[in-house]
Every structure is written in C-alpha cells, then in structure tokens.
Amino acid sequence: MKFITQISSIIGIFSLLINNTYAKSINPTSNVNKPKSKRDDNYYLIYVNNTLGEINLYSDSTNQKRQESFIFVESLITEINDLIVENKDTYRNPEKIDEIEESSKLQKRKDEDQELNTFNTSNLVYPISSIKERLVLYSYLSEKLVKKVKNLDNIVDIIPQRNFSFHEYYSKEDILNETHWKNLSVRENADLHLSLISQGKYDKQKIGKYDSNYYYPSTAGKDIDIVILDSSFNFNYFEFSNTDDRIVKCAANVSDGRPSIKDIENSCGHSTLYHGESVSDTAAGLKHGAASRANVYGVSVATKGAQFSDTDLLAGLQFIYEKLVRPHKTVINLSLGGKDIINSETHKQFDSVLSAIEEKGGIIVASAGNDGELIGKSSNSIFIPCELDSVICVGGITTSQKTSIENVYKIDQYSNYGPPVDVYAPFYVINEIIKENRIQKIEVPGTSFSSPLVAGLVATIMGENPNVKYTKEVILKKLRENGKSETISKNNQSGIIANNGKHIVYSSDGKYNGCGVYAGNRPCSPDDNNNSKDNSKDNSKDNTKDNSEGNDNKPIIRKDGRCGPNYGNAVCKSGQCCNSNGRCGTGLFYCFFDCLPKYGDCY
C-alpha cells in the first residue's frame, strides 16, 4: 500500500476562505519583470539659484512686480509651464495634468477672494519658498521632463517630493543594539503574522497600542536559497517582482516519481489547492513574506486531492539533495506530514534522504500538522517529517484576524504539539496569490504556513551572517536563544515562539505604562516597581559607561549613548543633546523638543 502524506492545512476552511476574497484581474502568463517604457511621474521640488535676490510670495505689492527678481521668476515659471504643456505625451498618466489644471480652477473660483500667492499664472508649476538667493518651485513632472528642466539656466537640482513624519515611535539605534543587525528595514502596517515574529509579547497593561510593523535586517535573506517542495507555484506577479535582486524560479515538476525540467518557465505544477502559492508567499513574498530578498526555488509535486504520494515526495527530495543544496546557504521547507509505523522502510528512507540533505549543509523546516494532537509520545507510530532528527519542526499559535492581540500567545487548538515541535509561529497568515487568473487576498490557516514563516525567518538570520556555516544545530540554538523569553505551553508541554532577535515592544501611539524591553525599552529608575518584571537588563546600572571618562571629577559619558537622570546622570558627548527618552543625538528631536539641558547641548 502507498504511504499517503497529507498537506498540513485545514482544507475545508482553506477552500471556504479563498472563495470569499477580494480579487482583481491579472494575466498570469504576462512577464511582470519587463522594464516599463516610462517610469512613474512624480511631484518634484525644483531648486533654483536666483542671483537677483529674495522675493515675497505672499505680497499684494504692485512694486514687487516691477523688480528684476520677480520678472526672472515669472519668466522661469512660464518656460517650465510651456515645457509641460508641449511634452504632455512624455507622462505615463497625461490625464493627471488635466486633473491638476481643472482642480486648480475650481479651487480658485472657490477661494478667489482669499488668494495669497502672488504667482498664480500657472497651476502646473509655482514657487513655494524664497530665501535670499534660494528659490524652490513645485511641479508635477515626467522623468523625461526632469532632464529637460535640469538643463535650464540657474536650475541647481530637482528632487522628488518626500514625506516627513513628526517622529518615529521606535528607535533604530535601540533595535540595532539589541539585534546586532547591520541595518534595519521596517515594513509598516504589516500582516500580523510578520509583526508578531519581530517583537516580544504584547501586554496591554504596558503598551498603549499594538505595533503592527515588521522589523527585519535589511539583508532580508539575501543570497540564501529557500527550496519549497509543494503542490504548485506561480511567481509571475508583484510579490516576486524583484528578480533584479534575487532568483525566483520553478526548479522542477515531479510526477509519477520522475522530476522534469520541461517547460518549467511556463508551468510549475497544477493544483486546485493553490497551497504552494501561499507557502511561497509566506516564506519570501515582497509584502507578505519574511525573507523578501531570498532566492526561491519551487519544486512542484503532483497532488491527488489534498495528498501527495510517497513516490513523488521521495523523488522530489532526491532531486533537491542532488541539485539544489548549496551547503550552509539553503533552507528547505516541507509543509506536509503523515503518520507511519516506526522503523518501517518508508520511515527509514525519509530519514535517510533528509539526513543526507542535512549532512550536505541544508536546513530543513517542516510543519507539525493540524490534528491538535500530542506527538512524539507514541511507541509504534511517527509523524513524518516533523519527528525526524534532521528537521526543525514548527507548530502554530492562534493568530486569526478575529483573535484579540493579547490572546494570540497560545498553541492553536488545531496545531500538533509536544517534544518534537522545536518552535511555534503564527498559524494564520495573509497572502495574495493568483487563482483563476486573478489576484486573491486570503487568510489561510495551518502549520503549513507556520513552517514557511520560520523558513523565511531562518533565511534572514543566515543572510545577515554570510560567513557563518549554518547547520540545523546552529540555527536551533539561535531560535532557542531568540525565543527563550517568549514561551507558551499546553497540557504541560512548553514551547517557544519564533522571533528574529528583536524583542523590544513599542506602542504605536507612544503611550507606555511601564519600562524595559516590553515597554518601548524605556528607562527604569531604581525604585520603579516594574523594573524587575519588565527589564531583561537593568538600565539604571552604569555597566556600559566609558571608564576612561567617568570618575568622581568628570561627568559620566556612556558608551551606549544613553543620558539623563535614569542613566546615572550620564551626559552626552560635546555637540550632542540629551532628549527626554535618555538618548544622545543631534537634530530637532534631541536638541529642541523635550531636550534636557543639564545633560547635553540644547537650542
């Protein structure tokens, strides 16, 4: 009898969810990576050297209009305006020019008695700032027009309009100090399954509002291969569009025990489940994936309903072993599982091929299954591949969108659990996949998706440290180290939550009721009642100060850049300011807003 392996997702719920999702049309066979003939148009600030001097932008004086400087600016505006009109066809969206003009006309009629700007001859380009010889114009330009306008006399530079926020509620410095990442990337307002793995446990008693950002190293799995053995794949859409930065491809299609590379450029398996599509998006999608710069190789396996045959799985694993394992640079994801008799030939063969992949330098991550059962305790059956020694096994925590944030930190009722499960990750994920020629946004449940989330997380760890020879044991040690403070349990079986090394919990509204890493890394005073509860380290101690500068006669300057009364009255280095959060730095948010003059410069 053939050993049948079930896909580790709840198929009934999965099917129901994908039938009730937002969708939009797309041609899945189109080449999304072709270069565009025109780049997107944009709003620009045009910096001008006005040697004739400053002008008043909000003056009703008729004398100014006779000044040489005014005449120069008016002439330049007319010249740029004419260029825009004459080169309308260079815009990717020329209708936008008509919209700007029409909108401005309506606004002018509405506010005709309240017009402030002296320069109202053009709605397509106009001045917004003039100080001494520095003049700034504002305009909507195509890429081609930017080049033309740059060639005009007295144009210093043309820079795309940027958005400034008042402040960031997180500290890049603190995050990099904690994680030791080379650089930080932040995906704002990310999916819950991503935000959860880049922070410690949320506690509403300490945090005002949950932080939905996903924080990760900027390497994001760069130069690490994620190999996925699954049902089918479609990489021809925006989630995998950054092929200038990584490799994303179908590696083989497996059917009847035979891998094939025929026509893999156009087809990577056929399945009505769209299981592999969601798995790959969770591991490495640009928006929904953990490792958005990792290479992705899909190996499709023929399905019968929601099942794979042992024949095709063994053939697929053999292909991966021989062709796709780059030693210490490869993560293999197996979102599948099934029970077999201990020491059966099937058990031995799966154990052999997976052990061979591990010995070759591959890191294998697999799902724990969705039976809600305690595994690893049976004397006659084994759950393959989760219970095999060469595998990092992943269970799930409850993360449905219907679940309140404070209730997600528990093993999901459907997830298997027990000694073989090495780590737990979100059980529900959000994906966007191509189904029936449309992009569909769906929420899918199962340890099938907990597993690729951890596979992606592992890829980010490996990509950040390219000189380390990663093995399963080295990765497990890192996962345990990162998750030791984020524990969960069920029926006396404990586990750790997957975490990428960032534990600081921020409040997105800036409100805190505590101190330490679980309250924005805010400093704790020696008599703070929450100090022992919230802090993984005592911020009030001066164990990081520079001893060469700190003694009874000299002010204390700490190596970690902290300052103020909560940090042993440490001061900042010369030229730096101390803000109310106890950090040294320069700029408005250190030296002007809430600056502490006793501990550094202020202005």
List, for residues 557-593, the tens digit of each pLDDT value.
888 888 888 788 899 998 899 988 788 888 777 777 6
- Give mean pLDDT, residues 148-168: 84
Cβ-based burial of 271 (10 A; exposed 0-12, middle 13-18, buried ≥19):
buried
- Cα separation, 251 vs 505, in Å, equals 40
pLDDT band at 12 (very low <50, low <70, confident <90, very high): very low
pLDDT at residue 87 is higher than 60: yes
* pLDDT at residue 65, as a whole number: 54
* pLDDT at residue 569, as a whole number: 87
- Token pair, residue 132, equals 């001494």
Residue 43 bridge partners (DSSP):
140
Task: Kindly state the percentage of the chain with pLDDT values over 90.
Answer: 63
Closest CA to 302 of 267, 346, 235, 256: 256
* pLDDT at residue 542, as a whole number: 39
Full-model pTM: 0.69
| Residue 378 neighbours by CB under 8 Å, 6+ apart | 342
| Residue 458 neighbours by CB under 8 Å, 6+ apart | 331, 363, 365, 392, 475, 479
DSSP β-ladder status, 330-334 and 225-230? parallel
Q: Mean pLDDT over all residues of the chain?
A: 85
Which of the 8 DSSP states describes residue 35? Answer: P
pLDDT band at 526 (very low <50, low <70, confident <90, very high): low
Which of the 8 DSSP states describes residue 174? Answer: H
- Cα separation, 100 vs 83, in Å, equals 16
Residue 214 bridge partners (DSSP):
187
Lowest-pLDDT range, 130-144, 267-281, 394-408?
A: 394-408
Cis peptide before 385 (omega within 30 of 0): yes
pLDDT at residue 532 is higher than 70: no
Backbone φ/ψ region at 10: left (φ over 0), alpha (ψ -120 to 50), beta: beta
| Backbone phi, psi, residue 214, to 5° | -105, 115
Residue 184 bridge partners (DSSP):
217
* pLDDT at residue 372, as a whole number: 95
* pLDDT at residue 579, as a whole number: 85
pLDDT band at 437 (very low <50, low <70, confident <90, very high): confident
